[in-house]
Amino acid sequence: MTAIVEARALHKRYGRRPALTDCTLSVPARSVVGLVGPNGAGKSTLLQLACGLLTPTSGSIEVFGAPPGRLARVGFVAQDTPVYAGLSVADHLRMGAKLNPRWDAALAARRVRQFGLDPAQKAGRLSGGGRAQLALTLAVAKRPELLLLDEPVAALDPLARRVFLQGLMEFVAESEPQTTVVLSSHLLSDLERVCDRLVVLADSRVRAEGGTDDLLATHFRLTTTRRGADTLPAGMHVLRAEHTGRQSTFTVRAEGPVDDPSWVMEPLGLEDLVLHLLSHPSEPDPGPEPAAPRPVPEPQR
């Protein structure tokens, strides 16, 4: 499958602070990719590198097989969904038509009607949801082959988020060829509805990358009687281990479930999977040995 975005050993530093460290990933064509991670993980930096607003400290990133900068093929909606407060909705559409050679005026007009935006209203007087829809309209009406969205729904209420995502997926479904989307968000329930791939960033590094279904099919919670991680079958990579006096619980990566009557193995949901991947990785110990029984004092004579 053709890669639209390809990063290899990508580093970006702001002074002494690393924003991205040894980032290697691939975004296939016609995919909808969820980019997740805590604040400061490097999500915004990665998106700005992909659209050419930043340059790498070292390593490389290519978009459409070349260094970023082909802005006519890329749509970008920044985190604060920027629009010009003093310009009307109609002014924004006229500006979009002048700046973008592939501008689809019919698509822009249809979205304005669909989401109830008044063409004469100043953008600064729109609701948060209205500003987000206007920013998305400007991005999609240029008919991009790659659409980068940096937490565009972070400030929206649940209904406005749902409407925004519905509008996004309608555009993706009717675009030909299908637009590739990279969407960063803290809201895993939103990503689960719309994304077919996932990139997990933490501490400026890629923790996991792959198809959402593939990641969910290879990560499990395993509960068994107390035992060490080193006693599990070969091929199970333990991400986390927790022990009580009688029981051990492991989060593992494996090719598939293993049928063993001595334990319970269940798949992880997306939220649990991401939370485990965001935890600081460490080699789990086999579990502390049970405390030795205290000696019974001899009765005094």
In a domain, 285, yes or no: no
Q: Are residues 255 and 236 part of one domain? A: yes
Domain span at 7 = 3-214
Residues 264 and 150 placed together within one structural domain of the fold: no
156 & 252 share domain = no
Asked if 124 and 258 sit in the same domain, the reply is no
What is the residue-level pLDDT of the chain in tens, covering all 301 positions?
589 999 999 999 999 899 999 999 999 999 999 999 998 899 999 999 999 999 999 999 999 999 997 778 999 998 888 899 999 999 999 999 999 999 999 999 999 999 999 999 999 999 988 999 999 999 999 999 999 999 988 878 888 888 888 889 999 998 988 899 999 988 888 888 899 999 999 889 998 899 999 998 999 999 999 999 988 888 888 888 899 999 999 989 888 788 788 889 998 888 888 888 887 554 444 444 444 444 555 555 5
> According to the model, what pLDDT value does residue 280 have?
52
Chosen domain end from 167, 184, 214: 214
For the chain, the domain total comes to 2
User: Is 296 within a domain?
Assistant: no
Taking all residues of the chain, what is their mean pLDDT, rounded to a whole number?
Answer: 88
User: What single-letter amino acid sits at 297?
Assistant: P
CA–CA distance, 279 with 116 (Å, rounded to integer): 43
Q: 131 and 189 in one domain?
A: yes
What CATH number corresponds to the domain at position 119?
3.40.50.300
Backbone angles phi, psi at 138, to 5 degrees: -60, -35
For residue 287, being part of any structural domain is answered with no
The answer to whether the bond into 299 is cis (omega within 30° of 0) is no
Asked if residue 291 belongs to a domain, the reply is no
- Residues 122-178: pLDDT tens digits? 999 999 889 999 999 999 999 999 999 999 888 788 888 888 888 899 999 989 888
Q: Which two tokens stand for residue 232?
A: 């599990």
- 222 in the same domain as 176: no
154, 131 Cβ separation under 8 angstroms: no
**Distance between CA 168 and CA 132 in Å, rounded?**
11
Question: pLDDT, tens digit, for every residue of 131-147?
Answer: 999 999 999 999 999 99
Q: Does one domain contain both 272 and 251? A: yes
Which residue shows structure tokens 């407060």?
85
pTM, two decimal places: 0.84
Let me know if residue 301 belongs to a domain. no
| 56 and 119 co-located in one domain | yes
**Residues 174 and 107 occupy one common structural domain:** yes
Judge whether 77 lies within some domain.
Answer: yes
Q: Please tell me whether residues 164 and 44 are part of one structural domain.
A: yes
From CA 161, how far away is CA 155, in angstroms rounded?
9
